[in-house]
């Protein structure tokens, strides 16, 4: 394929060559939003793996001030479709990172996924195809959670079932995997919802999909893509006792009572977590 000389001369880096060779005529329609905290050992591998499989996707890392060289490593790739935004340390939060990334996206769709390869890259194609076919929201659904270990997988199922009951009672939409960290949205439909409800979201929480279902004010066309969930190979898990507390806190009034009870159990100060209540 002949490359326009002005583009061919811009960079000799591997990623840029891939970009030029395979994407020069295409426009990105999807941004992969990846929240990161201390993922130095994964970011470059992730950026390059996505670029290789999906030359036209934009990649947006939303980093919570890791200060571990992640930003420098991503900048050094010199990939025009990949960037890392380092967030305000005072506003740290996994959900805040994902939601801000969704607002930053200037493509038709935005998808979130983790940076530790637990979500297989092969699933991204199916999700994108389903969005192209007209879905507002496509949720990646894990075939099995066994890889998390029996206790955690069981806990995840029980908490999810519990959350679903609350959503049904409050007449809010549910999805097959409410806890999934792999899903895509239509930006034109969801960005206004995020802007309007920013202060109501559980911004430090982890269950972003659940909050989007909670606050969305239109009938969502939902589709699903099944995938095999992997285990984290490199880097450290960030899971901590505050995660289930924040998940319960998303469940309206009764959920907040449960969150307070969990705080007592774990010896965590609820008032410090939610000073405005
Ligand atoms: N921006 C941001 N990203 C975070 C934060 N905490 C975790 N992450 C990222 O969110 C993603 C999911 O975190 P993980 O630690 O993998 O959580 P998990 O998948 O539930 O746990 P494991 O199964 O043990 O890996 C990863 O890409 C993390 O780097 C945070 O406070 N801010
Ligand atoms: Mg993980």
Give me the sign of the Cα torsion angle 131, 141, 122, 46: positive
**Inside any domain, residue 120:** yes
For 153-170, write each residue's pLDDT tens digit.
999 999 999 999 999 999
**Inside any domain, residue 139:** yes
Quote the ligand 1 centre to 174 CA distance (angstroms).
23
- Whether the Cβ atoms of residue 112 and residue 101 lie closer than 8 Å to each other: yes
18 pLDDT tier (thresholds 50, 70, 90): low
User: How is residue 263 written in tokens?
Assistant: 């705080």
Is 50 exceeded by the pLDDT of residue 180?
Answer: yes
Is 90 exceeded by the pLDDT of residue 41?
Answer: yes
Q: Which domain holds residue 132?
A: 5-146+175-231
25 pLDDT tier (thresholds 50, 70, 90): very low
Average pLDDT over residues 22-42: 83
Quote the ligand 2 centre to 187 CA distance (angstroms).
25
Question: Nearest Cα to 87, choosing from 18, 34, 164, 158?
Answer: 34
CATH number (domain holding residue 18):
3.90.550.10
CA distance 270 to 261: 9
Would you say the CB of residue 116 lies under 6 angstroms from ligand 1?
yes
The H-assigned helical ranges of 54-138 are 70-77, 94-104, 122-132
- pTM, to two decimals: 0.91
Is 90 exceeded by the pLDDT of residue 122?
Answer: yes
For 207-243, write each residue's pLDDT tens digit.
999 999 999 999 999 999 999 999 998 999 999 999 9
> Kind of pairing, strands 137-142 and 58-63?
unpaired
**Inside any domain, residue 185:** yes
**Inside any domain, residue 34:** yes
Number of domains into which the chain is organized: 1
**Inside any domain, residue 214:** yes
**Inside any domain, residue 258:** no
Would you say the CB of residue 100 lies under 6 angstroms from ligand 1?
no
Residues 6+ apart with CB under 8 A from 109: 29, 30, 31, 128, 131, 184, 185, 186, 187
Average pLDDT over residues 115-143: 97
């Amino acid at each position: 394929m002949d490359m326009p000389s002005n583009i061919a001369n811009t960079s000799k880096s591997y990623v840029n060559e891939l970009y030029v060779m395979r994407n020069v005529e295409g426009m990105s329609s999807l941004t992969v939003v990846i929240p990161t905290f201390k993922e130095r050992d994964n970011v470059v591998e992730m950026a390059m793996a996505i670029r290789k499989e999906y030359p036209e996707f934009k990649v947006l890392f939303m980093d919570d001030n890791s200060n571990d060289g992640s930003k420098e490593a991503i900048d050094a790739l010199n990939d025009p479709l990949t960037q890392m935004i380092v967030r305000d340390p005072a506003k740290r939060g996994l959900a805040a990172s994902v939601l801000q990334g969704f607002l930053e996206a200037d493509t038709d769709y935005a998808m979130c996924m983790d940076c530790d390869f637990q979500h297989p890259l092969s699933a991204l194609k199916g999700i994108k195809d389903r969005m192209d076919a007209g879905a507002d929201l496509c949720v990646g659904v894990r075939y099995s959670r066994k890889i998390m270990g029996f206790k955690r997988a069981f806990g995840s199922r029980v908490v999810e079932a519990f959350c679903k009951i609350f959503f049904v009672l409050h007449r809010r939409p549910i999805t097959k995997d409410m806890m999934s960290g792999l899903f895509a949205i239509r930006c034109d439909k969801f960005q206004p919802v995020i802007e309007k409800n920013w202060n109501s979201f559980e911004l430090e929480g982890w269950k972003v999909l659940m909050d989007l279902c909670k606050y969305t004010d239109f009938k969502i066309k939902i589709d699903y893509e099944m995938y095999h969930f992997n285990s984290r190979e490199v880097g450290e898990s960030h899971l901590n006792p505050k995660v289930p507390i924040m998940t319960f806190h998303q469940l309206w009034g009764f959920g907040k009572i449960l969150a307070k009870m969990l705080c007592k159990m774990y010896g965590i100060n609820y008032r410090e977590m939610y000073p405005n209540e």
